[in-house]
Structure 1
């Protein structure tokens, strides 16, 4: 069974995966994340050595694409190779492996920043958590930014951008001055000190969301997209071979992209396996009717909206 999955992924799904990769690089805004995976039979590596499943996806501009990629390491060269030819914004956490990608402007993740302040607050003695503290003040700055985001969730990108510049910019100005003051008064290795350091080190990328109303304020979209693999990993525990890991990445990519475009993934996969052997996959025009957002796909592939059937 596993061999058939690997064969199908390599023979029929990989060409679609490659087309999705080309489509993804044409976007203006992307997001990325990564998580660990254990692959037992990697050449020259111990079976217990951790490998990585990288996650690359689109933002809110256009049809959704979710691509996984297996790599042996977390080295930043993998991201640089994957994003070759991409020009635009990339929303990520603070991992330095994404730095230095040509023609890419990094956007930081305010959810990660806010999480640092939550950790700092929870590190305080229980009786002190409800009282005044630097950790609570830092968390409140983040909460104020998210208050703005809730108000503009359904706004157009232009409306969102205007609101952010009018309302979020003053908060950031105040926050940055406050961080500078607190840095000199806080132990750097404390949880609060680490939250301050994270925000200061990531301050440039953390301001990028002010540049384009299509940008998310955080990387939560890609974190949600990597969860299906994380949940699956709890069940299958490890991959046996790199071929299997690559096949898994391809299959997860097709399934998650189908789901995000309102398709029933099982029905879509069946349709692909019926159609792909009869198509010239080297012809770029072939893909227009097969991509998960194509209006040419049969209506039977779509997942009914709750309450409509």
Structure 2
């Protein structure tokens, strides 16, 4: 079963206001006004988690290296977030904006940490949500996919091509490579044909 990735950016929304998030502004501003120091403390820790992810991207780390980096640097930060919440949750009103933010984190604590278990996982679901947003345009068309299996196949190929797009891989070249090599690849090694595991150099041949 795939790991459930928590939408970590939603934690951030509980502590700070973005100009384009009008619906949350009043609630977040109230949190900052009433518990400004605590809110910004948690926000700084969350920003540190994203800074660590940026470091991994800038250094072009492998999945294994990113996993190791997270265990070394991100895990202590997440533990500090949890410790801070447990220490201060009793001193804020449960239904106050900051109290809601603390409860939101606490109730999703396992999901918050899932990305630490595998360097292949992202810190949040931004990439997935951005990739599937265009699919809403054809939502009604998928009601007549033909069968449940056909609908699953369509979803799989959207996932494959979305991964190609994210990795800046030509999906046509990737599909051509798969069709040429799938018959000589043992079934237990099919994973190696996924876009994220194929070197771009192989697709240039």
TM-score (norm 2): 0.61
Residue of structure 2 in register with 1:263 after alignment: 169
- The alignment covers a number of residue pairs equal to 187
C-alpha contact (below 8 Å) 1:186/1:192 kept by paired residues: yes
- 2-side partners of 1:211 and 1:273: how far apart? 29
How far has the Cα of 1:197 moved from its partner? 0.9
- 1-side partners of 2:66 and 2:33: how far apart? 37
How far has the Cα of 1:255 moved from its partner? 1.6
Is residue 92 from structure 1 mapped to residue 15 from structure 2 by the alignment?
A: no
Q: Cα deviation per residue 1:208-245 (whole Å; 9 max; x = unaligned)?
A: 66667x3657124xx31342322231x22422235363
Q: CA-atom RMSD, angstroms?
A: 4.5
Gaps of 5+ in 1: 1-79, 84-89, 94-108, 301-309
- 2-side partners of 1:163 and 1:273: how far apart? 37
SS at structure 2 position matched to 1:118: coil
In 2 relative to 1, CA 199–217 (structure 1 residues): closer, same or farther, beyond 3 Å? farther
How far has the Cα of 1:256 moved from its partner? 2.2
C-alpha contact (below 8 Å) 2:14/2:101 kept by paired residues: yes
- 2-side partners of 1:288 and 1:177: how far apart? 39
C-alpha contact (below 8 Å) 1:186/1:193 kept by paired residues: yes
SS at structure 2 position matched to 1:219: coil
Gaps of 5+ in 2: 18-23
Q: Which structure has the highest strand share of the two?
A: 1
TM-score (norm 1): 0.44
Of 36, 39, 42, which aligns to 1:132?
36
For residues 51-66 of structure 1, the aligned pairs below 5 Å read none
Q: Which structure has the highest helix share of the two?
A: 2
- Stretch moving more, 281-290 or 255-264: 281-290
Residue of structure 1 in register with 2:160 after alignment: 254
For residues 36-51 of structure 1, the aligned pairs below 5 Å read none
